[in-house]
Each structure stands twice: as C-alpha cells, then as structure tokens.
Amino acid sequence: MRRGRTIVFATALELLCEPLFMLVLQAALLLSAVAPAMHYHQFGEASRMARDAGLSAILLCGATIAFTGPIRTFRREIETGTAQVALAHSVSRTSFFLHKAIGCAMAYGVFALTVALVSLTVVNGAEIGGRIAEKTGDIARLWGPSFTLALAAALLPIVAAAVLNRFARFRFVLTANLLSASIAILSALYRFDAALSIRLMPALALAALPSLALLAASAAFAVRFKANVASTLSAAVAIMLLPALGNYCLSDALAQGGMIPWTYLACATAAALPAIAALLLLGVHFINGRDLQ
C-alpha cells in the first residue's frame, strides 16, 4: 500500500512540476475565462458561450494532458533508468505500471477539477449576471467579478509562484499549478448556483471519460514503444475516440435549460470502464514482457 502510494504521488508530483502541464492549464483557464467574454456583447448568450468554452477547454486541453502526460513520464522513467531502480525494489512491474497510471490520472484530475470549477464560476456569473442585466441593463455585470476570478486563477498564481520561488525557493511550476487549483476551489464559492452546477456535472464527466481512456492507451503504448511510436499509436486512439470526445455536445438538453440524463452518463461510464481496463491490461502485459536495459 505504502509502495503504491509513493509511486502515485511521485508521478502526480512529476507531472505537476512540468512546464507543459502549467502552460496547458493556463491556456485552458484563459480559454474558459476569456473566450466567452469576447462574445458577450454580440450574441447575448453569455452563459451558453461560457459553458461551451469551459467544456471545450476541458476536452481539448484535457486530452492534451491525457495524451502527453503518460508518454512523457513512462518514457522518461524507462530511458533515464529510474524505472529500473524502482523495479530493483520489492515493487512488481504490474504494481509499478498501474500506480503510475493512477498518478497520471491524479494529475489529470487536478487539471480537470481546476478548469471545471473555473468554468462553473464563469457560467454561474454569466447566468446570474445575465438575469441582473436583463433587469437593469448593466451589461458589465455579466462578466465582472466572475471573469476577474477566472482570470486571477490563471494569472495570479504565476506572479505569486515567481515571488515564492525568488524569495523562498518554492518550485515555480508546482507552486503555480497548486495555486491555480486553490483559487479555482475558492472561486467556486462565489455566487455558487448549486442547481446550475449539478446540471453541468454530467457534461463535465462526459468530457473526462474519453480523456481517461486516452490516458490508459498512452500509458500502455509508452511502456512498450519509443516516444514517437507511442505518440502515433495514441494519436490513432484519439482519432477513434473523437466521436466520443464530442459527447458533451449532447448538450442540446443543456441549452434548453435541462440536463444530460444521469442514465446516459451511467451508460457512457459502463462503456468507458471496460475499455480503460482493457488498455491498462495491455500495458501490464507490455511491461511484464519486456527487457529493461
């Protein structure tokens, strides 16, 4: 148990320390915060814009994290030899692979949670601000405080992390990522409309499921093939998953003020879990059958 936990946390920490993770997270936060704001004055569907931008950010940037994270960490472990040192301890290859995959999923979870909470804040702000604007005509209320909070989640951590790195030797990238997540959690408390947020949950989950399948595929290919081959094969899986990646577009229901049925989410989960399990088993087979030089 302790061995597994050690591998999970080290892997998550490794990915959270990666500049690429920080750049993708900041891009996703800016996309969710800024993209809808650009259209507010033109289309008058502020909350829909905010929702679609948030879901797109989770989907596209999340798929990038799910795609690159496992390939980078597994290839780095195998090519630099840290995997060999870890496997010289009383850790089985199966356990090593599965716990590293869980570590990757944990890093993805930090990303998805941060972006989802910021998106919810922006959508909440737009929805509530929209109602106020209808009554008062004050259109600035649409994107004022919630937009500022979302922007703060993206930009403030960079400045704070730089200061902490300069004066207290904190790790810059890790600090920035954790501060983004913390601000996202705090921002969710602002004008929190529980009913609206619950309405969006199935859509967020549907955006995450194909990314987790992609993560499992990338992990499996990364332990067997070199980075370029693993990337190509993972890209092929991503293309196959594309129809599933558009799952959240079932959000006609969302657009009409309803929600994606929970039964649909259950069916999608039931379809995704065996696929994820099969890909992880493939990875276990690959790592157990190979020489580690």
Partner 1 sequence: MNGEPVVSLKGVRKTFRDFWLRPTVNAVDGLDLAVARGEVFGLLGPNGSGKSTTIKMILGLLAPTAGEVSMFGLSPRSLAARARLGYLPELSYLHPFLTARETLMYYAGLCGLPHAESARRTAQLLQMVKLDEVANRPVGGFSKGMARRVALASALIGKPELLVLDEPTSGLDPVSTKEVKTLVRALANGGMTVLMTSHLLADAEDVCDRIMILNRGRSVAEGKVSELGESLEDFFLAKVGNADEFVLADFLA
d(CA 16, CA 259): 33
Nearest approach, Cβ of residue 229 and partner 1 (Å): 11
Is residue 98 within 8 Å of 40, Cβ to Cβ?
no
Closest CA to 113 of 69, 153, 142: 153
Nearest approach, Cβ of residue 236 and partner 1 (Å): 19
| Count of C-beta atoms within a 10 Å radius of residue 2 | 5
C-beta of 161 vs 200, nearer to partner 1: 161
Helix (H, G, I), strand (E, B) or coil at 256: coil
C-beta of 252 vs 291, nearer to partner 1: 291
DSSP code of residue 290: S
C-beta of 269 vs 288, nearer to partner 1: 288
Nearest approach, Cβ of residue 1 and partner 1 (Å): 9
Nearest approach, Cβ of residue 65 and partner 1 (Å): 17
- What tokens appear for 104 in the block? 């990757």
Site residues for partner 1 per CB under 8 A: 2-3, 5-7, 10, 13-14, 17, 80-82, 84-92, 169, 171, 174, 291-293
Nearest approach, Cβ of residue 57 and partner 1 (Å): 26
C-beta of 3 vs 191, nearer to partner 1: 3
- Exposure class string for 146-164: b at 16+ Cβ within 10 A, else e: bbebbbbbbbebbebbeeb
C-beta of 101 vs 207, nearer to partner 1: 101
Query: In this structure, which amino acid lies at residue 154?
Result: A
C-beta of 38 vs 85, nearer to partner 1: 85
Distances (CA, A) of 128 to 33, 42, 141, 157, 196: 16, 18, 9, 27, 10
Residues whose CB is less than 8 angstroms from the CB of residue 293 and which lie 6 or more positions away in sequence, other chains included: none
Nearest approach, Cβ of residue 172 and partner 1 (Å): 11
- What tokens appear for 51 in the block? 């929702």
Is residue 119 within 8 Å of 187, Cβ to Cβ?
no
